[in-house]
Structure 1
């Protein structure tokens, strides 16, 4: 009756099913305005359910305004419920392939999750939950766990040689959230942001989505070309990756750092420094952050996604004092805070120097894989190639003179089970880097690297 078919063994109650069916009949126009519904007794008999079940369904419809009734009169369909012919729902969404579906997966920014000490981490999570005070199970504020902020300050001193006050550190749900909040925070100061070209396309979209005008500055093997900086009104910030430029891998030299800082001072703007993976440096010591030269002018963004595991979703920013109040307001009305237990577990991971040991072990492992990748390229790739940015991080760039890697090449590789990204994907002004490919290798064992290069070489032919 009325097109109602009940699933008697389903998890949805019978009354809820009746309500849903009748609501659908009303919005699709099969039950029209003013039409009388069957009595509860009649419908219960037709559907072989109790009268109370139908009564509950009618109560739900009445509470939401789908029906009207007066005491002693029949229940009728309310006015204005017909939705009409709804348009088809958007464009079809292409199914994303799992990383496991690729025979050769050169995705960038992927740490080796197989080497993370999961059992230790689970013990720390359990202990942090057991030790948490009752008030910590509530809202604890937008700054982040005090113990974690103190341990991050100590970690930065050990690993980067910089002194940071824990009060200037704010915990985030990764670097991406940090950039979303910073875009909101700085938008009132201007409408234009200076960005390296090429730069991470995902981070670029954060600023574009906020409505910033993008001012690209070209990058070479040493990072941002500061000679390309031009005067202009409306600049509020520069977004840079000076310790390991993404994607080309350059390290910004001291003279360019000074020139960039001088430019920021002259234009009364901030520099957003994204230090996403410089812990893994294979030639010489870790690079000192730009922040160490001008903490009142540089906003430092760090993350634990590349060091530990991406699902952790814990990052941090170091903010100049004048930005603290506005940051707290924005974070409070974004999502208030990070989950407490993960913060507490990470604080303990840092306090016991587990992170220091893990980074040392992974740096050695990634260094070996870097060498395996370079050796495989020498042995297996017949075409001429040059490497960019292999001194640090979890990826490198290969330049193939005379070749152009467009989206057709990418699609063909995916059909052959190869995940590969051309550098031009991350270019703002297209065309300057068509002959370069990005190869992520941190998550690949040496045998996987060699197999992947063999497959890639076939496509390069």
Structure 2
């Protein structure tokens, strides 16, 4: 009756089924405005349902304004409800399924098999039991204060950074921090200066807002500060401890030059320290922040140290930016999940982070050696490594070769996932002879077989 078909075994109640069916027909114009609906007794009899069920459905229609009702008169459809809807586009035919990835050299992926999941589970469980009722309320845009204190201690132990916990602000990862900083630091008519190549994330954040960009060329020592025009700059984004993606360490002279420009022209340096704890030929490189913190915003993350799904990062902010940060964060997402913050606080406090990083540095260092030996045994002297001995990926220069998008596509068809350095260059006209190989998540056998597969693939195309 009235196009209503009741499904008695459905999870949706019969009353809601009647409501939804009538609502859909009203919006489609199948039941016209002003048209009278059957009485509840009549509709119940026609559907084989109880009158109470139909009354409940009519109450829903009345509450949401789909019908009007007056005592002693039939319920009628309210005016102005007919919606003209467009037909949904026919979905495109599915592309042919790609071959499975057999050798995955994606970048930025830690070895998650080594993460102490049982301990982490215990810490999260303990946090759920031990947090007070007050701590489960909105905590504000700064973050969990005990975590800020532990991060300040961690930075001192791991990077010799003297940081006050009051200047540490928790974020939903480094990307969220960059979203906030770009809007806070923007000045009309001033550009953001970025390394070229650099991670597309920061480039996209700025470009999507229509803010102007200026490029810093990168060589084997990182960003070339001499190419920076300090005038009309609002901020400079750099990865000085391990330039992404080429891997160079910014020398002290270039750091000092950048700090002088920031002071002279009153702009800020965004220092993204995404993986400097994984350095294999000595201790982590000191950040620019340690030289002069007055114009430096230090951005850190735990995504590569622990696991990517842990969306917790942090910034160390100069005092003069903290009010703007609190305002912007308060109206973006307010805060991070408290249980993960509390668990991470204990992970740091118990020095489990120190032990985990020390262990992973050894594991990644061994994998790096396997990768370099495999490259030497297959490609020989035709391949040169760029950058410092740190991080979870290698930038490799293949002398006399050029790689483009078709190469990546063909590699993918052959079961090899690989990245080009050119995809991180804004103009795609530099570093065409370089590939990026992530290795942190791979086993020794996967690395060896993957390099052999890559060698054979390139040899076939030569």
When the two structures are superposed, what TM-score results if normalisation uses the length of structure 1? Answer: 0.94
Shift of 1:269: 0.5
C-alpha distance after superposition, 1:403-451 (max 9, x if no partner): 3322222222223322211111111122112222111100111111122
- Asked if 2 retains the 8 angstrom alpha-carbon contact of 1:34 and 1:77, the reply is yes
2:456 is matched with which residue?
A: 458
Matched, 1:311 2:309: yes
1:92–1:423 Cα change, 3 Å:
farther
2:152 is matched with which residue?
A: 153
- Asked if 2 retains the 8 angstrom alpha-carbon contact of 1:383 and 1:400, the reply is no
1:297 is matched with which residue?
A: 295
Unpaired runs of 5+ residues, structure 2, are none
Matched, 1:254 2:252: yes
Aligned to 1:312, the other structure's residue is in SS state: coil
1:436–1:88 Cα change, 3 Å:
farther
- Asked if 1 retains the 8 angstrom alpha-carbon contact of 2:242 and 2:388, the reply is no
Shift of 1:156: 0.7
Whole-angstrom distance in 2 between the partners of 1:416 and 1:31: 57
The 5 Å alignment of 1:234-245 reads 235-245=233-243
The 5 Å alignment of 1:354-369 reads 354-369=352-367
Whole-angstrom distance in 1 between the partners of 2:252 and 2:137: 46
- Asked if 2 retains the 8 angstrom alpha-carbon contact of 1:190 and 1:236, the reply is no
For these two proteins, the number of residue pairs brought into alignment is 459
1:135–1:231 Cα change, 3 Å:
closer
Aligned to 2:361, the other structure's residue is in SS state: helix
- Asked if 2 retains the 8 angstrom alpha-carbon contact of 1:173 and 1:314, the reply is yes
2:166 is matched with which residue?
A: 167
Deviates more, 1:145-154 or 1:54-63: 54-63
The runs of at least 4 aligned residues of structure 1 exceeding 6 Å deviation read 90-95
1:187 is matched with which residue?
A: 186
2:43 is matched with which residue?
A: 43
Whole-angstrom distance in 2 between the partners of 1:382 and 1:82: 72
- Asked if 2 retains the 8 angstrom alpha-carbon contact of 1:36 and 1:76, the reply is yes
1:230 is matched with which residue?
A: 229
Unpaired runs of 5+ residues, structure 1, are none
Shift of 1:89: 5.8
1:212 is matched with which residue?
A: 211
Shift of 1:206: 1.6
Matched, 1:140 2:155: no
Whole-angstrom distance in 2 between the partners of 1:200 and 1:6: 55
1:409–1:62 Cα change, 3 Å:
farther
2:59 is matched with which residue?
A: 59
- Asked if 2 retains the 8 angstrom alpha-carbon contact of 1:36 and 1:75, the reply is yes
Matched, 1:349 2:350: no
1:336–1:105 Cα change, 3 Å:
same
Whole-angstrom distance in 2 between the partners of 1:403 and 1:34: 75
RMSD over equivalenced CA pairs, Å: 2.3
- Asked if 2 retains the 8 angstrom alpha-carbon contact of 1:109 and 1:440, the reply is yes
- Asked if 2 retains the 8 angstrom alpha-carbon contact of 1:194 and 1:217, the reply is yes
When the two structures are superposed, what TM-score results if normalisation uses the length of structure 2? Answer: 0.94
2:403 is matched with which residue?
A: 405
